[in-house]
Amino acid sequence: MAIGKLINWLTGKPKRTVIPEALWKDTVENLPFLSCLDAGEELRLRELAERFLAEKEFTAAGGLELTDAVCVSIAIQGCLPILNLGLAYYRDWVGIVVYPDEFVIPRTVEDEFGVVHEYEDIASGEAWEGGPLLVSWHDAQMAGDGYNVVIHEFAHKLDMLNGEADGIPPLPADISWQEWENELLAAYDDFCLQVDASEAGFSDDELFDASQAIDPYASENPGEFFAVLSETFFEMPELLHREYPEFYALFARFYRQDPRQRYSR
Ligand SMILES: [Zn+2]
């Protein structure tokens, strides 16, 4: 990207890639969930995104033109979850591959008889353990109202910091593994019941609302639950707080942010 190269040439390996003021403003304006950040938070997010841009490597795929606007938008969205955690939480990987739209991932699965089956998955994002993060630019621009593919994939990366994406990221000292697992599974089990009831047409309005407003894909497994609810936490905190207040409180302690309080300012 152009802004990165300039700083590289001047200073060798850059500590920060300066985001021009106009590009910063344009990008933030297109991400309405950032409008409630206070001035101090916005400044810290900007500095974090600038350090992120200097450390990570963006690659275009599928014919996408990789502009500064693409990289800056993904960096800003991806850095929101670690605003109070720090860039070290993304230390295990460097690559971000950006596709213009949804992309195909070839997969293999071995059945109970040892026969390997090949199939193709259509994805808007993917986080590879020990590898790059893949994201659709089309989907990254749909951020808001609880859908955020960038926050989703970056949450998987947080989760993978201590192994597979199982919904249990590395926890701070004041949250025990047991407490996290209990709250996560209690909310997850309840959500799965709601999705089942909704699909069977048995849910009342409240349940139906919850499973529609929170992507039912969260019922796939606890790892997806953590990633999807991270999207909800940052974009629709009131909804998450209403449905799962205990889990919301735990998320706020984990991310060291309280988006709900921020929205009410
Ligand atoms: Zn996922």
| Mean pLDDT (10-residue bins), the chain, 265 residues | 52 78 96 93 96 96 96 98 96 95 92 93 92 96 91 98 95 96 96 87 60 84 97 94 95 97 87
Whole-number Å distance between alpha carbons of 127 and 71:
17
Centroid of ligand 1 to alpha carbon of 117 (angstroms): 22
Q: Return the pLDDT at 5.
A: 46
Amino acid at position 149, single letter: V
* Edge-first strand listing for the sheet containing 57-60: 57-60, 95-99, 133-136, 125-127
Q: How far is the CA of 161 from the centre of ligand 1 (A)?
A: 15
Note the pLDDT of residue 171: 97
Question: At CA 54, angle to CA 53 and CA 59, rounded to 5?
Answer: 60
Q: How far is the CA of 84 from the centre of ligand 1 (A)?
A: 23
Reduced to 3 states, what is the DSSP secondary structure of residue 127? Answer: strand
Q: Compute the distance from residue 3 Cα to the ligand 1 centre, in Å.
A: 30
Instruction: Please give the pLDDT value at position 213.
Output: 81
Q: What is the pLDDT of residue 210?
A: 54
**DSSP β-bridge partners for residue 134:** 97, 126
Q: Is the pTM higher than 0.85?
A: yes
Calpha distance 103→96 (Å, rounded): 14
Q: For 252-260, which contacts have Cβ atoms below 8 Å and span 24 or more sequence positions? A: 253/172, 253/174, 253/175, 254/169, 254/171, 254/172, 254/175, 254/180, 255/81, 255/83, 255/84, 255/85, 255/230, 256/84, 256/85, 256/172, 257/83, 257/84, 259/33, 259/36, 259/233, 259/234
CA of 153 to the centre of ligand 1 (A): 6
